[in-house]
Amino acid sequence: MDIYGGEVNRLIEELSRLPGIGPKGAQRLAFYIIGMPEDQVEALSSAIRQAKQNTRYCRECCTMTDQELCPICASKTRNHRLIMVVENPRDLAAYEKTGKYEGVYHVLHGAINPAAGIGPQDIRLKELLLRLHEDCDELIIATNSSVEGEATAMYISRMVKPAGIKCTRIASGVPVGGDLECADEMTLLRALEGRVEL
């Protein structure tokens, strides 16, 4: 029996399309939304529509922004000769939060993943190559340390090294403040390989 009626079901269905939201979570969210004051519901609904309509990719670094150039690429205080390559805008946000990185970014919007049919042409690599025609002191590859992230890092380094561009990879190892016994074997081995002299 259809216990809620069409509109509620439609909302549950739309919400459960979102990543990380299962059928139960969608139900919970739907009832919460229906119970919210009307102006808040309107704000949510229009924020979704507006963000989609007014967001584009930064002409330079391909992150999402509402200007032609994102605030970082438009900034004159950043070092535009230092480019950090990340998989997505959330990774960019994570590094921005450290407040210590002074270069600019390049957002790939994904990583090479042959198993999922995502090849080099499906992520923003062409845009990265076009940027490298300008002066670039160093390309820091900060893709995730997953299989896909590593493959992408390897691909990029092979692609840009012939042009004589310095290409580095962020370190992987035991997280700061993390327990050694909680780290997986791969991480422990990486931390060992990447050891530095004190």
What is the binding site for a copy of itself (CB under 8 A)? Answer: 1-8, 10-11, 13-15, 17-20, 24-25, 27-36, 38, 40-52, 54-55, 63-67, 70-72, 75, 88-90, 92-93, 96, 109
Closer residue to a copy of itself in complex, CB, 83/167 = 83
Q: Which of 141, 134, 136 is CA-nearest to residue 156?
A: 141
List phi, psi (to 5°) of 93: -60, -40
Minimal distance, residue 162 CB to a copy of itself, in Å: 32
Q: Which is nearer to a copy of itself, 41 or 129 (CB)?
A: 41
d(CA 110, CA 127): 14
3-state secondary structure of 102: coil
Nearer to a copy of itself, 63 or 169 (CB): 63
In the complex, least distance from residue 140 CB atom to a copy of itself, rounded to whole angstroms = 17
Element (H, E) at 24: helix 23-35
Nearer to a copy of itself, 74 or 191 (CB): 74
Q: What DSSP line would sit under 34-63, residue for residue?
A: HHS-HHHHHHHHHHHHHHHHH-EE-TTT--
Query: Which tokens belong to 17?
Result: 């399309």
